[in-house]
Amino acid sequence: MPRAVLAKEPSRAAQARRGLLTLVAFTAVLWAILLVDLATGGVMNYLLGNIPRRLDGLDGVLFGPLLHADVTHLAGNSLPLIVLGFLVFLEGVRRFVAVVASSWLVSGLGVWLTGYGLTVGISGVVFGLLAYLLVRGFYNRSWKQILLALVVFAFYGSVLWGVLPTAGTGVSWQAHLFGAAGGVLAAVLLRRDRDGNRA
């Protein structure tokens, strides 16, 4: 490969630093939004949250993941978002954006079509990142990615129960289920062939 091309490719360490900074900064933005929302009495949740099957709640498909019910809600999402997002980011910015976008939109639309009541939170994207990391190795036929999937599953596999229907918990299993579906969809669309080329 020509030197000019190699020089343009970021080093693994630089990619890792960039990924960590991006995820920490994005999480900080979520915390800033939560503080503003709490200071205004939670009005942002009602104005921009995902309200199923109502036209005035459709904008929540885009904005709902940026909002959270309270400090405990966001605190529960923050570390998984940073860790799982960081692992996906190591594959590159474009792939990271594609996985997040797929999880974000599929989760949001799924909630809008099938959910119950006002829904906010980034957990649909978190489930999408998790699902992507768990299945990508099988689509890419990569034993390294499969091994990483096993490690990820050991730490976060138990949260997959969150895709099952629950009632009276205040947790949107629809966001989790459709977010995970978005992550699997991203893995299928971004799979590589045996030569490492994107399908």
pLDDT in tens, the chain (199 residues): 455 545 455 688 999 999 999 999 999 999 999 999 999 999 999 999 999 999 999 999 999 999 999 999 999 999 999 999 999 999 999 999 999 999 999 999 999 999 999 999 999 999 999 999 999 988 888 899 989 989 998 898 888 888 888 765 678 999 999 999 999 999 999 986 444 555 4
On whether residue 196 sits in a domain, the answer given is: no
Locate 113 and state its tokens. Answer: 């079509």
In tens, the pLDDT along 115-164 reads 999 999 999 999 999 999 999 988 888 899 989 989 998 898 888 888 88
Which pLDDT score, from 0 to 100, does residue 1 have?
Answer: 47
State the pLDDT at residue 193.
Answer: 47
Distance of alpha carbon 72 from its chain centroid, rounded?
Answer: 18
**Phi, psi angles (nearest 5°) of residue 119:** -130, 130
Per-residue pLDDT, 42: 93
Which residue range is the domain that position 37 belongs to? Answer: 3-189
Question: How confident is the model at residue 140, as a pLDDT?
Answer: 84
Instruction: Determine, yes or no, domain membership for 50.
Output: yes
Identify whether the C-beta of residue 75 lies closer than 8 Å to the C-beta of residue 31: no
Residue 197 lies in a domain: no
Give the separation between CA 116 and CA 138, rounded to whole angstroms. Answer: 34
CA neighbor of 94 nearest in space, from 146, 184, 14, 19:
19
Inside any domain, residue 195: no
Q: What is residue 194's predicted lDDT score, i.e. its pLDDT?
A: 43
Q: Residue 144 burial by CB count (10 A; 0-12/13-18/19+): exposed, middle or buried?
A: exposed
Percent of the chain predicted with pLDDT > 70: 89
CATH number reported for the structural domain that contains residue 182 in this entry? 1.20.1540.10
- In a domain, residue 105? The reply is yes
Domain total in the chain: 1
User: Is 123 part of a structural domain of the chain?
Assistant: yes
Query: What pLDDT does residue 11 have?
Result: 86
53, part of any domain? yes
For residue 42, tell me if it sits in a domain: yes
| DSSP for residue 142 | -
Q: How many CB atoms lie within 10 A of CB 16?
A: 14
